[in-house]
Amino acid sequence: MADLTDKAREEFFSEASDIIENFSRNLLALEGAGRDGEPDPALVNEAFRAVHTLKGLAGLFGAARLGTLSHRLEDLLDALRLGRRDLTSEVLDVLFSAVDVFTVVLDAERTGKNEPLPSLDALYAELERLGTGQAPDAGGGLDYELDAGMLAVLTEYEEHRLHANIQQNMRLYRLRVQFDLASIDKSLDEIKDRARQHGEIITYLPTGSAATADRIELDILLASKSDLATLIGALGSDNVVVEEIPRRQRSPEPPTPAEATTGAAAPPQEESGSPLAVAGERAIADRERSLKSLTQTVRVDIRRLDHLMNIVGELNIVRSSLSRLSDRVRSEGQRALAAELTRLHRAFDRRLSEMQEGILEVRMVPLGQVFERLARVARQISRELDKEIRLVITGAETEIDKLIVEELSDPLMHMIRNAIDHGIEPKEQRAAVGKPEAGTIALNAYQKGSHVMIEVEDDGRGIDETSLVNKALKLGLIEASEVEQLTREETLGLVFLPGLSTRETASDVSGRGVGMDIVKTNIAKIGGVIDVHSEVGIGTKMTITLPITLAIVSALMVQVSTHVFAVPLATVSEALNFDREMVRTVDGREVITLRGSTLPICRLERLFELERTESAPTRGFVVVVALGARRLGLVVDHLFGQEDIVIKPLGKSLSRVRGFAGATELGDQRVGLVLDTAALIEEVLSSSDGVRERLGVMHA
């Protein structure tokens, strides 16, 4: 691959990674079907096609080891889809191992390393041991009056599926469907989805009828248990004609697919005497040409999207400047000019908002990309620990910024690992307390306002709070005098302290549980918080609250002393007038009373050691920010209103400063700091002492 351009290499690795992910997704679906020895034909075929495509891609780009591995797996999957081998748990284990080996081989290709790969050699040995099985007895013959032209172009797999359905006494139907070329992709997918609800699609191909400039006609061969009336009711329409294919008479013997082309039913050939193979190849080529469509997706480097977001940020500054200019002109009495500027500002604002939303949508990816990897990890760990785990995934379609997804993999993987190793009890213990042997881990995602919530819940042993506190005392992480003041939420939160675990012995899978502090830190880096709820003997639920995007956000602009800060609007619940007389102290924290509830407050001027000016107001505002169930009041001097901002990273000298998510350009050519409300809530509410030291105070 040395001769490839950087762009071509990146395209290759990106495409190959996507194919491997799709392959893994198919395997998980196959295992979930739970039909040992009777694999879902469509899923097996999808897995085969994924590996077949990867083999072709590897050959095109000269990735020899990747191509060889794909070819070997293709042989096994071909045997599965043609019925020569059953899909046993042993075969599934080998296929899942192949996913990991694919990743190893792809990394080796990326780095150009040519040294031996032990995992690859071990997989080859397993594939050799499994073999590809024996061809099944087709039996039964073709007892239906199938069109000879259609039989001539059936692939080996399609012919196998046709025989298998006939052996199961399925009825055969021909669906003649007309499509508009402009919408063939969507329309074909819709009719296929509807047809699959009633049976198995064997094949589909052009009918051979003369197609118009804007329409095409296809025949779909469907095997189904349903009767003709049912299918007509479910599938029939002005564009879809459903016909049942009758059985042949028992005498004479029905022809085989090869013989059928010589019978009277065969359509006339354009070239007299042309061999059957040529006709078959021509029909296949016609089908591929007819169904070939322009790709509906393109790959975009995330850096290009970041560049576009920076441009949007600059245009937001222009928008704000236009608004200020309009106000100034109006105040000077030039009403006509002010009205024209206002009209232009509104039009610009509308188009810029559409552009901004469009770019944000492009950055969004479904969380299913991460969840599918977690399912594979859960499967592997449960086998290592000899625990039966049922992973239930909901909300995989929930979308979030791609950059956040990339940072989520490690924290979620650690949480799943801990849930299996520390949370779910061994089978014997579960049986003793009346629980099913199979432990359940639920992974759920959903959107809540401007945030995405991710829940990881298990039905295991739960967290023993007494044991947790005793271990924290033993390690010197808390003082004995603090124990009585801890709320239940704070007690469970001890699990996130560095080095804390209730487990006395280490395991090969997750040690002693050390690392939940890293989970919390990594989630905070992407603007999120994590909460834990647990009941002994019932289970544990951890909830992650994340912003939908980190790229561009609506923010409330505030001023403290002479500094302007941006507070992400997604975390702002309300703002209210502030007076010093409202403040009281509870357990060393400054709080105010808001509608009967106690609200901790944080004076930003003290936290960041900002100098007070002579003109500083004696009154101000409290901006109430919330993440999950936690709330904090930020005391500020002035409120400037809402603006859409692009968050830019801080320089190296400020990257370690806690409390800031980044910076943004202001319309007056100044720079404002964006508050990391998640970090502020975590740090301020965790303790009233030493907050500034842990935040890393920024001096004005």
Q: Tens digit of pLDDT for each residue in 602-616?
A: 999 888 888 776 555
Specify if 228 maps to a domain: yes
Torsion of CA 484, 485, 487, 488, to 10 degrees: -20
Instruction: Tell me the C-alpha distance between 88 and 96, whole Å.
Output: 12
In 3-state terms, what secondary structure has residue 437? coil
Please report, for the domain that includes residue 203, its CATH number: 3.30.70.1150
Instruction: Tell me the C-alpha distance between 289 and 530, whole Å.
Output: 52
Give the mean model confidence (pLDDT) for residues 246-252. 63
Residue 372: alpha-carbon gap to chain centroid: 8
Task: Among 547, 568, 592, identify where a domain stops.
Answer: 547
Please say if the pLDDT value at position 696 is more than 60. Answer: no
Asked if 374 and 444 touch (Cβ cutoff 8 Å), the reply is: no
Specify if 395 maps to a domain: yes
Specify if 374 maps to a domain: no
pLDDT band at residue 399, thresholds of 50, 70 and 90? Answer: very high
Q: Please report the sign of the dihedral spanned by the C-alpha atoms of residue 226, residue 230, residue 231, residue 232.
A: positive
> Which of residues 438 and 192 earns the better pLDDT score?
438
Shared-domain flag, residues 401 and 538: yes
pLDDT (0 to 100) of residue 652: 67
pLDDT (0 to 100) of residue 461: 93
| Strand ranges for 582-653 from DSSP E | 584-586, 589-594, 597-603, 620-627, 630-636, 638-646
* Across 301-305, 364-368, 423-427, 513-517, least confident range: 513-517
DSSP 609: T
Shared-domain flag, residues 337 and 422: no
pLDDT (0 to 100) of residue 533: 94
pLDDT band at residue 502, thresholds of 50, 70 and 90? Answer: low
pLDDT band at residue 654, thresholds of 50, 70 and 90? Answer: low
pLDDT (0 to 100) of residue 142: 62
Q: Which of 78, 90, 87, 94 is nearest to 36 (CA)?
A: 87
- Its pTM stands at 0.67
- Mean pLDDT computed over every residue of the chain: 80
Please say if the pLDDT value at position 213 is more than 70. Answer: no
Asked if 549 and 404 touch (Cβ cutoff 8 Å), the reply is: yes
Task: Among 521, 547, 573, identify where a domain stops.
Answer: 547
Specify if 254 maps to a domain: yes
Helices (H) and strands (E) in the chain, counts: 23, 22
Specify if 665 maps to a domain: yes
Token pair in block for residue 598:
């106690």
DSSP 490: H
Alpha helices in 393-483 (DSSP H): 402-418, 427-432, 465-474, 480-483
Instruction: Tell me the C-alpha distance between 135 and 85, whole Å.
Output: 8
Instruction: Tell me the C-alpha distance between 365 and 405, whole Å.
Output: 8
* Across 221-225, 270-274, 507-511, least confident range: 270-274
CA angle 676, 680, 684 (to 5 degrees): 175
pLDDT band at residue 206, thresholds of 50, 70 and 90? Answer: confident
Please report, for the domain that includes residue 42, its CATH number: 1.20.120.160
Shared-domain flag, residues 531 and 651: no
Task: Give the whole-number percent of the chain exceeding pLDDT 70.
Answer: 82
Please say if the pLDDT value at position 231 is more than 90. Answer: no
Specify if 154 maps to a domain: yes
Task: Give the whole-number percent of the chain exceeding pLDDT 90.
Answer: 20
Please say if the pLDDT value at position 324 is more than 50. Answer: yes
With b for 16 or more beta-carbon neighbours within 10 A and e for fewer, the 637-653 pattern comes to: beeeeebbbbbbebeee
Residue 468: alpha-carbon gap to chain centroid: 34
Instruction: Tell me the C-alpha distance between 542 and 516, whole Å.
Output: 11
Structural domains in the chain (count): 5
- 542 lies in which domain range? 382-547
Q: Which of 422, 386, 662 is nearest to 549 (CA)?
A: 662
In 3-state terms, what secondary structure has residue 698? coil
Give the mean model confidence (pLDDT) for residues 248-272. 45
Instruction: Tell me the C-alpha distance between 534 and 460, whole Å.
Output: 10
Q: Which of 575, 625, 569 is nearest to 600 (CA)?
A: 625
> Which of residues 68 and 130 earns the better pLDDT score?
68
Please report, for the domain that includes residue 621, its CATH number: 2.40.50.180
**Type of residue found at 172:** L
pLDDT band at residue 308, thresholds of 50, 70 and 90? Answer: confident
Shared-domain flag, residues 517 and 390: yes
Specify if 296 maps to a domain: no
CA atoms lying within 13 Å on the CB side of residue 696: 9
pLDDT tens per residue, range 462-481: 999 998 899 888 888 888 88
Q: At 226, give phi and psi (nearest 5°).
A: -70, 155
Instruction: Tell me the C-alpha distance between 511 and 421, whole Å.
Output: 9
Shared-domain flag, residues 421 and 468: yes
Please say if the pLDDT value at position 127 is more than 80. Answer: yes
> Which of residues 635 and 309 earns the better pLDDT score?
635
pLDDT (0 to 100) of residue 57: 86
Asked if 469 and 417 touch (Cβ cutoff 8 Å), the reply is: no
pLDDT (0 to 100) of residue 279: 41
pLDDT tens per residue, range 557-571: 999 988 999 999 988
pLDDT (0 to 100) of residue 185: 77
pLDDT band at residue 4, thresholds of 50, 70 and 90? Answer: low
Specify if 297 maps to a domain: no
pLDDT (0 to 100) of residue 517: 86
Shared-domain flag, residues 344 and 404: no
pLDDT (0 to 100) of residue 656: 66
Range 294-299 contact pairs with CB under 8 angstroms and sequence separation of 24 or more: 296/185, 299/11, 299/14, 299/15
Shared-domain flag, residues 391 and 534: yes
Residue 274: other Cβ atoms inside 10 A:
11
* Across 86-100, 278-292, 501-515, 547-561, least confident range: 278-292
pLDDT (0 to 100) of residue 273: 40
Shared-domain flag, residues 508 and 607: no
Shared-domain flag, residues 489 and 602: no
Shared-domain flag, residues 647 and 556: yes
β-strand pairing of 439-448 with 451-458: antiparallel
Shared-domain flag, residues 534 and 630: no
In 3-state terms, what secondary structure has residue 120? helix
Shared-domain flag, residues 502 and 615: no
Asked if 628 and 524 touch (Cβ cutoff 8 Å), the reply is: no
pLDDT tens per residue, range 416-456: 999 999 899 999 999 999 999 999 999 999 998 888 999 99
pLDDT (0 to 100) of residue 558: 94
> Which of residues 654 and 568 earns the better pLDDT score?
568
